[in-house]
Amino acid sequence: MTEFDAGRHILPRPDNHRSPTVAMDVHDQETAFTPIGPVPAPEGAPNVVIVLVDDLGFGTSSAFGGPCEMPAAERLADNGLRYSRFHVTALCSPTRQALLTGRNHHSVGMGGTTEMTTAAPGYNGFRPRSAATMAQILQGNGYSTAAFGKWHQTPPREISPVGPFDRWPTGEGFDTFYGFMGAEMNHWYPLLYQGTTPVEPDRRPEDGYHLSEDLVDHAIDWVRTQRTLTPDRPFFTYLALGAAHAPLHVGQEWQEKYRGRFDHGWDRQRELTLERQKDLGVVPEEAELAPWAEGVPHWDELSDNQRRLSARFMETFAAFTEHADVQVGRFLDALEELGELDDTIVLYILGDNGASGEGGIEGTIVEHRLGHGVVDDPDEMIDHIDEIGGPLSYPIAPAGWALALNTPYQWTKQVASHFGGTRDGMILHWPRGVPERGGLRHQFSHVIDVLPTILDCAGIPAPFSVDGVPQQPIEGTSMQHTLTDPDAPEHRRTQYFEMCGNRGIYHNGWMAVTRHGVPWEMVPDKDRRFADDVWELYDIDHDWSQAHDLADEHPEKLRRLQDLFLIEAAKYQVFPLDDRVTERENPAVAGRIDLLGERTSITYRAGMRRFTEETTLNVKNRSHSITADVDLPEADAEGVIISQGGRFGGWSLYVTGGRPAYAYNYFGMNLYTARGERPLPPGRHEIRLEFGYDGGGLGKGGTAVLLVNGEKHATGRVEQTIPYYFSFDETLDVGVDLSTPVTDDYPALDNEFTGTIHTVRIDLDDESATSSEFDGGLHRRVMGAQ
């Protein structure tokens, strides 16, 4: 090891040795000073691009035999390598944390999504500083770094104007970030960040705006700038698109391409996909379709309306997926134009988990409804079929399609026990380093293997210390040896899996698994104990798709694997197992720190905006008041004083035609409005909303009373309220309603208050739904946004 290479083990690398000063006068200085500059990358180090798409599934992409046309993925695969046994964690945040750190997700505190964090070490949502990210390591070794798109790794209470910002992308090794911080985003009306600064697009859907296109535009601009200013410096681009996670948002022109293509249904689609997978060689000829998931109807069991709706949901999903992939193709074109594509390692990971079954049996045009146990009636949804995919919808597809998109495997996202939740296609393209074109690789690998593979290809050692913190071992193993040898031995002989209590263990060609819950289950059995779960056993070397359970035939083999799971789970901080989902959305129940603590009052001022649900008071399930101190202009006042949420759930206090008003939007199903009958005179006023909650449990109704200067102006009933969350992507804003509007009483985007806001105060009454009521309420597995 050279002295220069040894220095790469400590990041940031110590300053270069400086020449001594030997003269008072610069003209007498005989020894030249060494200029201080950035750390150079290893000579010949390639660029790195990781493209991660969301909620796809092994049998989704045309590059792996699926029905969704992905020309960019095919282009890379036909000129690179397809990895057929690549595994992820079965959920969004955990996969992303594992990908960027090279450690198992529990080892770095991400046993669930950021919204589900607890105080337990494996589930607290805090990446330890002893596990530096890929971006930090590459940045410390001379790379320019940038992230675009979905992040979903920062604790929710830290996504606020006060930070802290060390767990934001720009605090975790990325020079640049443009994208969204949470689980999902409206692709027509997104709320984004440039670095740590909130930004909104300057165009709208009617102007041709779409988030996937916007993200790639920014990625292209960034790479072009890097090549112009620093052509000798390699770059790392992390492009994490929001597609094809709900909401499924894409233009009608893309959907039209798929009209009628899925009328044959999900059962037939599985058969068609398996045939194509065998033709491509991504599964062996003897591979079988795994058993169908219990409780999900077959296509011929659906009504006519159910089939029409389900086909439209799938058309939308496929169009959304293809549209996203075409944007990836634009990014590849830009690299090729710059002459960089051949010297860039492109890893295209076709899913951070399996396809999502969180749309339930029917699917829905508004995803948040399912998160609260509200199931859309197909005979009512059919009247809105043409809205699916557009700005008036927030859709997610039925579970039957998820099962088809995970062909040939069992189950879906969340279910870490079976490959339907954990096995996704992965493509590696690097013409300079991989001479083979269209190759197949069948070695068992895992997302934690990506980081060590990148480091090996770049000639960069894993650091011993980063920012003065000794580093915990990287738990992934490099796949570099497989790049040039299709028959290279497997380095990953053992791998545990766990998510929401679903768990499995792979070891030397065998896999023991146990499924604890069902993603689309409306009311799972809360009395079910982990000890009661039934384990299955599969000989993966001879049963590619986990189609034949051998637990009864090999009980000793099963017992040894169960013991091995206990050993691995203890090693990587998996215990205690935690199957709570909805409950963990509540910080008090989850046991994590609440940003606002025990506060029951908060005062906002004009211009404050973009407060997520974990960074503002929770007005749900309790009486509360909203008091605004405002000045009204001479002309009739218009616009929003304060709002939370949007078209698919939320509330707003606003003025329309000079009249005060309050609207409560129940999942886009019912809109309850209290509106004053007469315009208010100009001048200073106190506009107050008093909400009297009925009590008696979660999601009950209440009475809204509007007062101006203490005088009652309107009263209205709100028959139902939203118990758990208004939105995963929309926020609380003062003086405006960003993204989608709570009510059509004012327009989207152009709804800023025309008067002056001095203060807006929210006060919570002492009485509220208790933690025990929360535990005893709906227990729908709220994972559609994960």
State the DSSP string of 350-388: --SSSPP-TTTTT-BSBHHHHHTT-PPPHHHHGGGGGGT
Average pLDDT over residues 682-710: 97
CA proximity to 186, closest of 774, 771, 740, 770: 740
HSE-CB at 592 with a 13 A cutoff on CA atoms is 25
- The pLDDT of residue 34 is 81
Can you give the pLDDT at residue 1? 38
Q: What is the mean pLDDT of residues 640-668?
A: 98
Largest Cα separation within the chain, whole Å, is: 93
CA 317, 400, 666, 625 torsion-angle sign = negative
Element (H, E) at 771: helix 771-776
- Report, at the CATH architecture level, how domain 499-585 is classified: 2-Layer Sandwich (3.30)
Model pLDDT, residue 337: 98
Please return the burial class of 362, using the count of CB atoms within 10 Å of its CB with bins 0-12, 13-18 and 19+: buried
| 26-40, 180-194, 330-344, 660-674: the lowest-pLDDT one | 26-40
The whole-chain average pLDDT of the chain stands at 94
Helix (H, G, I), strand (E, B) or coil at 690: strand
Q: What is the pLDDT of residue 6?
A: 52
Q: Residue 342 pLDDT > 80, yes or no?
A: yes
3-class DSSP string for 269-315: HHHHHHHHHHHHCCCCCCCCCCCCCCCCCCHHHCCHHHHHHHHHHHH
Q: How far is CA 717 from the centre of its chain?
A: 36
Average pLDDT value for residue range 647-658: 98
Strands 494-499 and 502-507, sheet pairing: antiparallel
Whether the pLDDT of residue 71 is over 90: the answer is yes
The Cβ of residue 19 has, within 10 Å, a number of other Cβ atoms equal to 12
Residue 80 has pLDDT above 50, yes or no: yes
Alpha-carbon radius of gyration of the chain: 27
Distance CA 785, CA 245 (A): 8
Has residue 772 got a pLDDT over 50?
no
Instruction: Name which of 124-133, 285-294, 586-595 the model is least confident about.
Output: 586-595
Q: Which of 308, 315, 284 is nearest to 67 (CA)?
A: 315
Rounded CA-CA distance 443/482 in Å is 8
- Cα–Cα distance, 222 to 201 (Å, whole number): 17
User: What percentage of the chain exceeds 70 in pLDDT?
Assistant: 96
Q: pLDDT higher for 785 or 596?
A: 596
For range 115-139, the mean pLDDT: 96
The beta strand positions in 609-725, using DSSP E, are: 622-632, 639-646, 649-656, 659-666, 670-675, 683-693, 702-708, 711-718
From CA 59, how far away is CA 166, in angstroms rounded? Answer: 37
Distance of alpha carbon 54 from alpha carbon 283, whole angstroms: 22
If pLDDT is split at 50, 70 and 90, which confidence band does 775 have? very low
Q: What pLDDT sits at residue 146?
A: 98
Q: Please tell me the predicted confidence (pLDDT) of residue 525.
A: 63
Q: Are 752 and 735 in contact (CB under 8 A)?
A: yes
Across the range 522-542, mean pLDDT stands at 85
Q: What is the pLDDT of residues 397-424, one digit of tens each?
A: 999 999 999 999 999 999 999 999 999 9
In eight-state DSSP terms, residue 486 is: T
Fold of domain 48-498: Alkaline Phosphatase, subunit A (3.40.720)
- Output the six-digit token pair for 294: 């219990």
Give the whole-angstrom CA distance, residue 139 versus residue 173. Answer: 6
Query: What phi, psi does 38 have (nearest 5°)?
Result: -65, 155
**Contact status, residue 436 vs residue 81, Cβ threshold 8 Å:** yes
Nearest to 398 by CA among 326, 305, 324: 305
Domain residue extents for the chain: 48-498, 499-585, 588-776
- pLDDT bracket for residue 524 (50, 70, 90): low
Whether residue 784 has pLDDT greater than 50? no
d(C-alpha 102, C-alpha 95), whole Å: 10
pLDDT digits 0-9 by tens, 153-167: 999 999 999 999 999
Q: Flag whether pLDDT at 537 surpasses 70.
A: yes
Contact at 8 Å (CB) between 630 and 758? yes
Q: Cα–Cα distances in Å, from 659 out to 152, 624, 748, 751?
A: 40, 22, 19, 15
Dihedral angle sign, alpha carbons of residues 411, 369, 645, 123:
negative
Dihedral over Cα of 776, 781, 785, 786: its sign: positive
202-239 pLDDT, tens digit per residue, is 999 999 999 999 999 999 999 999 999 999 999 999 99
pLDDT of residue 247: 98
Does the pLDDT of residue 254 top 90, yes or no?
yes
The torsion angles phi and psi of 740, rounded to 5 degrees, stand at -90, 150
Does the pTM surpass 0.75? The reply is: yes
Contact between residue 353 and residue 344 where contact means Cβ atoms under 8 Å apart: no
583 pLDDT tier (thresholds 50, 70, 90): confident
pLDDT digits (tens, 9 = 90+) for 666-695: 999 999 999 999 999 999 999 999 999 999
Architecture of domain 588-776: Sandwich (2.60)
pLDDT of residue 3 exceeding 60, the answer is: no
